[in-house]
A = this chain, B = another copy of it.
Amino acid sequence: MPFAHDLRADAGRLIRQCRWLLAQNVGLAIFGTNSEANSLSVDEKIDLLDQLIDAGIDSSAMMPGTGLCALPDTVRLTAHAAKLRCGGTLMLPPFYYKGVSDEGLYRSYAEVIERVGDDRLHIYLYHIPPISQVGISIGLIERLIKAYPSTVVGIKDSSGDWSNTKAMLDAGWDDFRVFAGSEDFLLETMRNKGAGCISATANVNPAAIYDLFANWQSPAAQGAQLALVKLRRCVQQFPMIPALKAIVAKFSEDENWLRVRPPLVSLSAADCETLAANLSTLDFDMAGL
């Protein structure tokens, strides 16, 4: 999420980034972890969604994150996304209380679905235990699919644990769409009939990620996978969100992109230089940005 000098969300720059991403054939997981969405209020997110729609961005390409700590907040944002006919919503479980039961998480999702009460709602569960510290078990997924088969339609697995993703892919859940949480597992996910990946680094490397997604059966796929991982590791030498912003700032020649909201901190000038130098050793650009 780009921010203005007073830390207000910058809809203009967000719209430009979204247009560029769509031109690279990737969808828009706006309001994900690496969008700094958890540093935005519900009002800000509703306003940004409206501004994206007003700018002509196709809502069916959007998968906004809508899972928040408080039930009324999640219901309000999710209902708005459904009303706008977003392709899906990426839904964290409520993440403040820890050690909660699957029964409690089931009730959380069920309450949201019942209260939103909209056939246009398509939920992708968001499993990211390294950050949320509250995970989504295989048993919980099965129960949700059984109760709400046309609403709970997929998952983003950001556990970083391939065996977990594989277990989901092997579960035989009909049309349930399993996305890897990053391109690290894109090729394996495609080989196991997964839906693709949803990844923060798609903000800087969308063309190559899409290319592997589209051509995973080609002989060049393994090499392409290794190149994706190499670039991601380069970014991961620094905190992910400020590093991605530093890359966008560099290639768009727009330092406004460097800003983050606290508790995050922008990369230092020295770190920006190191990151740029490391990237320059790879076959990488952000053409058209």
Contact = CB atoms under 8 A, between A and B. Distances in A.
Interface of A: 7, 33, 38-44, 69-73, 76, 93-101, 103-105, 107-108, 111, 130-134, 239, 261-265
A88 to B, nearest CB: 21
Nearest to A111: B262
Contacts of A265: 100-101, 103-104, 107
Contacts of A33: 96-97
Contacts of A43: 72
A7 B44 CA distance: 25
Q: State the number of copies, please.
A: 2
A179 to B, nearest CB: 21
A95 B131 CA distance: 10
26 contacts: A33-B97, A38-B69, A38-B96, A38-B97, A39-B69, A39-B70, A39-B71, A39-B94, A40-B70, A41-B70, A43-B72, A93-B263, A94-B263, A96-B131, A97-B131, A97-B264, A100-B263, A100-B264, A101-B263, A101-B265, A103-B265, A104-B262, A104-B264, A107-B265, A108-B263, A133-B133
Contacts of A239: 99
Nearest to A94: B263
Contacts of A73: 41
Contacts of A264: 97, 100, 104
Nearest to A97: B263
Contact of A105 (B44, B94, B108, B263): B263
A67 to B, nearest CB: 11
A195 B243 CA distance: 43
Contacts of A100: 263-265
Nearest to A95: B96
Contacts of A108: 262-263
